[in-house]
Amino acid sequence: MPPRLSFAPVRNFAKQGNLTRRMSSQPKVYVTRPDVDDSGLELLRKRCQVSTWNETIPVPRCELIREVAGKDALYCALTDKIDKEVLDAAGSQLKCVATISVGYEHIDVQECKKRGIRVGFTPDVLTDATAELTLALLLATNRRLFEANKQVYNGGWKSWAPMWMCGQGLKGSRVGMFGFGRIGQEIAARIVPFKPAEITYTTRSPRPQEAATVNARRVDFDEMVCNSDFIVVCCALTPETKEIFSTEAFQKMKPNCILINTARGGVVDQKALYEALKNKQILAAGLDVTTPEPLPLDDPLLKLDNVVILPHIGSADIETRKEMSRITARNILAALAGDKMDAEVKL
């Protein structure tokens, strides 16, 4: 029999060339986290060339500066400092910086404004998740849940005792809200069923309509720190709010006051907080945010029993994080197309 002849497949070079040209014309996006929900990344991959940092630790700065070069958009997180150096490295074609967060203090927005770079963020979607976590942290702190749980495992639980592990209830208390935006209002609404005697709030501008829904009263900062049994920090980090909870503020607080912070670590002077907790100037604190993050294992706050610290999980609700990923992607696509973003920082 004559030998069988085999033929190599004929490649469609024209089709491959079209694909190459189409890909080269697509906008380029760099994503600084591989562990964001894939639904947002899929939106980007349909219309963009997407490259991603491939480790779950924050992208090293040298890597960020190298990889952002030539990109049209940057998908970033709170862990990434986006400043002049990064924007210079990206180049003049960069059109958008979108962060998967409600806060954007890690982005030099003024530098972006100078260059005509649009900035996207993810407000609103995480309001309920953060409010829920804040209430959980408040209850865990005031009822000493973490402290009590340790006693189960270390042998401290000997028997029921009338005054052992007693905490401070919300009923009949005075709750001060430092910040009264969307998240602050939702936190206050969740506190109301616990029957506090009064809810007060401190903001730059009065919010009478929103306050009326929870029967809250606007006060200045001094009145809030002097009279509150609980203080809930839910403001933005700005030059005015940076370390506003200082030694002076803690000295004005009642000895039974409990401070809860789910906003930004920089609002609180942590050294002053440590001294206030250690010296019983205030009763306790609950923190979902710290400076720095993560908190070093040798930080003195970790040696105290009257503080509950969580690893910045305020918005760590599955559906919330998925939608945050999608909003960030949609912000980028809108900016690249010159359309209205889902949520854009006003520069």
Residues classed as catalytic = 312
Element of type H or E holding 251:
helix 247-252
- Whether 317 contacts 127, CB under 8 Å: no
How far is residue 161's CA from residue 331's CA, in Å, rounded to a whole number?
Answer: 56
CB atoms under 10 Å from CB of 52, counted, come to: 18
How far is residue 201's CA from residue 120's CA, in Å, rounded to a whole number?
Answer: 28
Q: What is the identity of the amino acid at 310?
A: L
Token digits for 50?
A: 């997407």
- Whether 42 contacts 330, CB under 8 Å: no
Residue found by looking up tokens 């990434």 in the block: 80
Residue of 136, 145, 90 lying closest to 115 (CA atoms): 90
